[in-house]
Amino acid sequence: MCDKICFEEKEGAFLSRIIIVDDYKPFCIMWADFLASNYPGKAIIQIFTNPFSAMPHLDSNISLLLIDYEMPQIDGKKFLEYAASKGVKRSRMIVTSAKDINELHKIFPPGSCLAVINKEDPAQNEAFIMILDSFMKKLEC
C-alpha cells in the first residue's frame, strides 16, 4: 500500500497519475506537496518508500514516475527496467539521486528515461522544477 495519496479523483475529471518512489520519506512528501500545491487538482499522487510496494501499481497509465536511484531494497536502474517492462513509458520516468550527475548520465544514457537529477544540487533542482512544469503543462493538453 502506498504511504500517501495527495488527491482523490474528481468526478468526471481526468487526473494524471504520478508515483514517487524513494526510501527517504521526507523527499517523497516534499515533492508530493510541491506537485499538489503547484498543480492542484491535476493529478493523483502516490508515494512509496518501499519500491516493492510500488511495483503492483506500475502500468501504462502512469503519467510520471519519479524514482530514487539509491534505495536499499533495489537500485533505481533495476526498478526503472521493471517499470518499463510493465508498460511505463521511459519518457515518463525521472531518476533522482545524490550521485554526481556525470556518473548518473553514464548509468542512464539518453533515451533511458526523461531525465536524471542530482537532488542535492540546487541548480539541478531548478532544472527539475522546469522539467516538472513543462511536463505538467503537456499533460493538460
- Tens of pLDDT, residue by residue over 72-97, are 999 999 999 999 999 999 999 999 99
Please list the residues that pair with 5 across neighbouring strands: 46
For residue 135, what is its C-alpha cell? 511536463
Whether residue 134 contacts residue 105, with contact meaning beta carbons closer than 8 Å, is answered with no
Q: Domain map of the chain by residue range?
A: 4-140
For domain 4-140, is the CATH number 3.40.50.2300? yes
Whether residue 67 contacts residue 59, with contact meaning beta carbons closer than 8 Å, is answered with no
Q: Which of 38, 72, 81, 104 is nearest to 18 (CA)?
A: 38
Question: 30-55 as b/e, with b when 16 or more CB fall inside 10 Å?
Answer: ebbeebbeebeebbbbbbbbbbeebe
Whether residue 114 contacts residue 65, with contact meaning beta carbons closer than 8 Å, is answered with no
Distance CA 131, CA 127 (A): 6
* pTM > 0.85: yes or no: yes
Q: What is the pLDDT along the chain (141 residues), one digit of tens a residue?
A: 344 444 444 554 567 899 999 999 999 999 999 999 998 888 899 999 999 999 999 999 999 999 999 999 999 999 999 999 999 999 999 999 999 999 999 999 999 999 999 988 999 989 889 988 888 887 765
Q: Which of 106, 103, 100, 62 is nearest to 82 (CA)?
A: 62
